[in-house]
Chains A and B, each alone.
Chain A
């Protein structure tokens, strides 16, 4: 097990290295930030050259990359071109908001999807199943920015129950401001999860060990919870791992719609402003989180299903 974890962590370093290289090259393919930084007034060629030199952009690409990766290993991604602050610090300052949103939407999705998925499987073909599947279909079909705006119109503008945008202050304020972004981000995930859980449960409910359990005289609830659900969770956990990326990446749009001060907005602004250090720091950090999340998911398999061993 330990060997497996160490091996996976070594792989993770290689993947992270690849990610940094990819981001570094892609960003530079989009052009030079100097012109954007000097777009005010009428900079001369000398002004442009001076700034490019000051930012080391006149160095060969490989030297720029070595300089970047050396700094990155020490957590130094350079200073944001826009904010002038250390890029890593800037990204980290937004991370709590993004994680808060991701965790809230994750919880919302789980709370919604697990009961509905089970119920839909148990009541297969019935009105409950139809209703759940319909809601799931709608949940998957709605683009989240549209759903977000509709929620804003309904609960923010008309009913005035919830704040339209922003991250509220205090516990109650935070929770109130989190509701709509979390629902918006989590609904599609809940729908996917619910459908997956339903089909997984259907398969498991017809398995021999469930029939055996029934033959033993166990009641429905223990059969569902202790036997069927645990087995049905394997694909669900796989999806959960994959969805972490979706929740972090998909949060960009939701963050913009709800003026949520998270990493997503920061990255979009940074891309538009060619703020290389911010983009590099954010992508590297998000990639690291994703890699770790996937590793955690892989390790969780063994916890959920004792038949799975890593060696």
Chain B
């Protein structure tokens, strides 16, 4: 799922403020032209949205489509790719596995970039007040084992607590390599150690209860994972935790997690919201728990009206070192992009994500700020290595070197995307700053000539018909390819069937795609996209890649994993199974009422440190 908002920045904007955190915010008076632009933009965009709604297509379903006007990619449509960027901590390199028998030490190079969240309206939050957040989708279930989307991650983090804490800067509280210790975070495990490669022992906090009064203890952890991994519950979270064999209750405050196989990324997964702990008694009535849940985060759910709103209230009994400032947080479910924007402009919503076409209107409002933030999702073009002519490496090379990425980012994305060479964001463990494939049409032509490949070559390029930005890119790429003798025929596809067809290998030679890497670790991205016959790898097969991925999955030694990751980077980069293009950027709209709001790159909004004025 790709979300690539590309806020058009006004070069003459006179209200640009550079905060100490390096954030660029915008603020200037709205003039008549802005109003007209808003009206026109709203009308035009609404037309598309309404048509989509009427046709049952695009706009309504995926966060990507809505917040960005893009939609194309996602190896997983709505839920998956968005959540792809959510789940776990960035630093699998520094996850406490340093204490493992394998002697994993934190690698000096290749560790992920520490992602600075962007702080908006810094200050001391006052107590009380109500915050209103717009979300696009109904949560559908408030039980965390039922859902997987970022849309849910925006509130779940405040209602439930995970075992391992990762803050808004993606720093894991594991006490390793200068990271804060677990006790200073908001995770439920006080400490942990690996007894062997397949046994993890965790000591849990004591004196913690759930919102409904149930005590938090080892049984709650066991119950959470037992429920999630029970196939009858069909939890979409389960796939990430299948390495867990059993959770053993040692005593009330101690658990042992026994693994079926070595899982080097488990600590980071436990910091993801898939690892939220739920109360064992309340969850016995699953149906009730779906609408009346209880966690042990700083906020409790007080009201949920499907398709309308979800209300959270500060919980007096919160066990953490800080208490929440805001009294009530209301998540308003507003499916239409333009209606969300209107609510924001009318002052009825304090926080929302914006798409590119909306940013201009919002930037003109002196009462709000528009913030751009790079996210872990990377987008690009997958090339089908089993279909002629892209089964030939030379053709794939020619395609890669024919694409003028700089122009695409400057024009289609208005500069709000960062070119990448591999399918990893800087937040990902294993990331290497490899250059994008060079734009060199002459080289592309030469490669085809030397391989005795006759031009013109015909390739098919599939894109979702409702994905405006994806179609723009398809047109641009088609034009670029034509200059090296490659004729691309663009096929517009239905969104509902696009990802199924992609997984089944039924799409064309070129397919736009996006993937965030759920764990912020190369394992997730590379395994899903390059391991033979994985769901999001319908065609590519390279025994060397498979072997390396098997190796890295079988060790807790993070240095070794890093080296393998770097070998994989090089191997895949040289094999051209796809063309990674850019790291996505999101746009957030934040009312000036909101104080001390730290926007994380992974969208897991954390309200404990935030306040509201008035």
Q: A residues touching B (Cβ–Cβ < 8 Å)?
A: 30-32, 35-44, 47, 50-51, 54, 82-85, 93-94, 143, 145-146, 148-150, 152-153, 156-157, 160, 163-167, 252-253, 256-259, 261, 265-266, 268-269, 271-274
Q: Is B21 an interface residue when CB atoms closer than 8 A count as contact?
A: no
Closest to A51 in B: B234
User: Does any Cβ of A come within 8 Å of B148's Cβ?
Assistant: yes
In the complex, the answer to whether A30 meets B496 with C-beta atoms within 8 Å is yes
Band of interface residues on B: 35 or more
Flag if B236 contacts A268 (CB, 8 Å): no
Instruction: Tell me if A150 and B43 are in contact (CB < 8 A).
Output: yes
The answer, among B38, B77, B140, for a CB contact under 8 Å with A153, is B38
- Name 6 extra pairs, CB < 8 A, besides A35-B499, A39-B77, A259-B339: A35-B500, A42-B534, A93-B306, A146-B43, A153-B38, A164-B348
Per-position binary interface string of chain B over residues 72-103, scored 1 when its CB falls under 8 Å from any chain A CB and 0 otherwise: 00001111100100000000000000000000
B308: CB under 8 A from chain A?
Answer: yes
Q: Which residues of A are found within 8 Å of B518, using beta-carbon distances?
A: 41
Chain A residues near B345: list those with CB within 8 A: 157
B83–A50 contact, CB under 8 A?
A: no
Q: Are B46 and A94 in contact, with the CB atoms below 8 A? A: no
Contact of A35 among B49, B237, B503 (CB under 8 A): B503
B146 and chain A: residue at smallest CB distance: A84
| Chain A CB within 8 A of B535 CB | yes
On chain B, the residues within 8 Å of A156 by CB distance are 342-343, 346
Given contacts A152-B342, A164-B343, is CB(A269)–CB(B500) below 8 Å? no
> Which of A31, A40, A82: most chain B Cβ within 10 A?
A40
A42, B61: Cβ atoms under 8 Å? Answer: no
Question: What residues of B have a CB within 8 angstroms of the CB of A268 in the complex?
Answer: 53, 56, 60
Residues of A contacting B56 with CB < 8 Å? 268, 271-272
Given A35-B503, A42-B535, A165 and B54 touching (CB < 8 A)?
Answer: no
Contact B60 A272 (CB under 8 A): yes
B503: chain A residues within 8 A (beta carbon):
35
- Are the CB atoms of B42 and A41 closer together than 8 Å? no
Partner of A84, one of B141, B236, B335, B346: B141
Q: How far is the CB of B591 from chain A (nearest CB, A)?
A: 14
Complex Cα gap A274–B362 (Å): 34
Q: Is B276 interfacial (CB-CB < 8 Å)?
A: no
Q: Are B236 and A41 within 8 A (Cβ)?
A: yes
| A145 partner residues in chain B, CB cutoff 8 A | 46-47, 49-50
Residues from chain A with a CB closer than 8 A to the CB of B575 are: none
Shortest beta-carbon distance from B303 to chain A in Å: 11
B124 within 8 A of A: no
Interface centre among A39, A50, A261, by most B CB within 10 Å?
A39
Contacts of A272 in B (CB 8 A): 56-57, 60-61, 495-496
Q: CB-CB < 8 A to A166: which residues of B?
A: 308-309, 332, 334
**Contact of B403 with A by CB under 8 A:** no
User: Closest residue of chain B to A262, judged by CB?
Assistant: B307
Query: In the complex the two chains form, what is the Cα distance from A152 to B345 in whole Å?
Result: 11
- Given the known interface contacts A165-B342, A272-B496, the answer about A85 and B287 at a Cβ–Cβ threshold of 8 Å is yes
- Cβ A39 vs Cβ B61 within 8 A: no
Contact A258 B43 (CB under 8 A): no
Distance in angstroms from B371 CB to nearest chain A CB is: 21
Across the interface, do B339 and A165 meet the contact criterion of CB distance under 8 Å? yes
> Do the beta carbons of B239 and A252 come within 8 Å of each other?
no
Contact A157 B342 (CB under 8 A): yes
Are A40 and B54 touching (Cβ within 8 A)? no
Whether A39 contacts B54 in the complex (CB less than 8 A), given A153-B38, A269-B61, A274-B496, comes out as: no
CB-contact partner of A41 in B239, B287, B338, B346, under 8 A: B239
Q: CA A166 – CA B309 in complex, angstroms?
A: 9
Residue on A with the closest CB to B61? A272
**A83–B342 touching, CB < 8 Å:** no
Provide 10 A-B residue pairs closer than 8 Å at the C-beta atoms, listed in order of the A residue: A30-B497, A36-B77, A39-B78, A42-B534, A83-B306, A146-B46, A152-B339, A163-B348, A165-B334, A257-B50
Considering the chains assembled together, what is the distance between the CA atoms of A261 and B306 in angstroms? 8
| Interchain CA distance A27-B109 in the complex, whole Å | 51
Which residue on chain A has the smallest CB distance to residue B44?
A: A146
CB proximity of A165 to chain B, nearest CB, Å: 5
Judge whether A40 and B308 touch: CB under 8 Å: no
Once bound together, how far apart are the Cα atoms of A256 and B305, in whole Å?
16
CA distance A193 to B250 in the complex (A): 74
In the bound complex, CA of A109 to CA of B77 (Å): 41
In the complex, A164→B345 CA distance in Å?
A: 10
Q: Which 5 residue pairs are nearest across A and B when measured between Cβ atoms? A: A41-B239, A145-B50, A272-B61, A271-B56, A261-B307
Q: Which one of B78, B305, B308, B339 has the highest number of Cβ atoms from chain A below 10 Å of its Cβ?
A: B339
Query: Is A252 touching B306 in the complex (CB atoms < 8 A)?
Result: no
Interface flags for B298-335 (1: CB within 8 Å of A; 0: not) read 00000001111100000000000000000000001111
A146: B residues at CB distance < 8 A: 43, 46-47
Tell me the bound Cα distance from A258 to B61 in angstroms: 17
Tell which of A82, A150, A252 touches B53, judged by Cβ atoms closer than 8 Å: A252
A153 cross-chain contacts in B, Cβ below 8 A: 38-39, 42, 342
One digit per residue, 1 when the CB lies within 8 angstroms of any chain A CB and 0 when it does not, for chain B 482-506 equals: 0000000000001111011001000
Which of B53, B231, B309, B332 is A256 in contact with, Cβ under 8 Å?
Answer: B53
**Cβ of B43 and Cβ of A256 under 8 Å apart?**
no
Instruction: Write out the residue numbers on chain B whose beta carbons fall within 8 Å of the beta carbon of A30.
Output: 494, 496-497
Residues of chain B in range 236-255 having any CB-CB distance to chain A below 8 Å: 236-240
CB distance from B84 to the nearest CB of A (A): 9
Q: Is the CB of B39 within 8 A of A143?
A: no
Annotate B341-359 by CB proximity to A: 1 below 8 A, 0 otherwise: 0110110100000000000
A39 to B236, CA, bound (A): 8
Tell me whether B239 and A149 are in contact (CB under 8 A).
no
Say yes or no: is B536 at the interface (Cβ < 8 Å to chain A).
yes
In the complex, chain A residues whose CB is within 8 Å of the CB of B238: 41
